[in-house]
């Protein structure tokens, strides 16, 4: 019978065939990806979430008060960087006294573990110097304030830029 269909059979075991392995590859890749994603979620630091958000919300009025105080004093400053060394030139309108030390906070927008708090000391005539603990690259949120916490200046800084960062009071925002 020439019209009869013949079934071709192989005497090989299933694990020597390629189709079962090809069909199992997709679910195996998904399982490995799920394990890697779970590991990354557990190990990585989520700097966007804060555990004291309510307390931070209550402090908004105090923060705005510091910005208004900096604006009323006419404060503005320029931050310059050379390697790990930082220099701040701070100017005030009128006879506002400048403190002997200033706190400069570098906050990474998404990685709180990389934030730095640098104490800048006065060299006289509104010039302050300090040193970074580690090298920084990319975008940073910069905030300087006096030791008493009466005023604050802020700005967004591209650490790789050659231009100095101009810090101004954000009292109108």
Same domain membership, residue 101 and residue 30: no
Residue 48, in any domain of the structure: no
Residue 9, in any domain of the structure: no
Q: Taking a C-beta distance cutoff of 8 angstroms, is the pair 116, 108 a contact?
A: no
Same domain membership, residue 84 and residue 39: no
Residue 26, in any domain of the structure: yes
Strand partners, 105: 117, 143
Same domain membership, residue 70 and residue 104: yes
Same domain membership, residue 77 and residue 125: yes
Residue 4, in any domain of the structure: no
pLDDT at 173: 46
pLDDT at 56: 65
Same domain membership, residue 105 and residue 28: no
Same domain membership, residue 82 and residue 125: yes
Same domain membership, residue 84 and residue 23: no
User: Which range marks the domain in which residue 24 is found?
Assistant: 14-43
**Average pLDDT of each block of 10 consecutive residues along the chain (173 residues)?**
62 88 95 95 72 64 70 82 89 77 88 86 89 89 86 86 81 51
Residue 22, in any domain of the structure: yes
Same domain membership, residue 58 and residue 25: no
CATH number at 128 reads: 2.60.40
Report the predicted TM-score, pTM, of the whole model to 2 decimal places. 0.60
Same domain membership, residue 22 and residue 74: no
Residue 162, in any domain of the structure: yes
Residue 1, in any domain of the structure: no
Q: Taking a C-beta distance cutoff of 8 angstroms, is the pair 91, 173 a contact?
A: no
Same domain membership, residue 65 and residue 36: no
How many structural domains does the chain have? 2
């Amino acid at each position: 019978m020439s019209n009869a269909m013949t079934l071709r059979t192989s005497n090989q075991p299933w694990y020597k065939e390629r189709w079962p392995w090809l069909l199992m590859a997709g679910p195996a890749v998904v399982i490995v990806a799920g394990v890697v994603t779970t590991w990354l979620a557990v190990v990585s630091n989520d700097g966007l979430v804060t555990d004291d958000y309510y307390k931070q919300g209550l402090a908004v009025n105090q923060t705005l008060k510091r910005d208004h105080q900096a604006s009323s004093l006419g404060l503005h400053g320029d931050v310059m960087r050379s390697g790990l060394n930082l220099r701040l030139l701070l100017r005030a309108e009128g006879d506002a006294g400048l403190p002997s030390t200033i706190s400069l906070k570098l906050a990474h927008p998404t990685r709180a573990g990389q934030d730095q708090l640098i104490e800048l000391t006065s060299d006289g005539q509104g010039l302050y110097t300090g040193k970074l603990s580690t090298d920084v690259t990319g975008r940073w949120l910069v905030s300087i304030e006096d030791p008493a916490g009466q005023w604050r200046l802020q700005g967004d800084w591209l650490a790789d830029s050659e231009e100095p960062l101009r810090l101004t009071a954000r009292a109108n925002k």
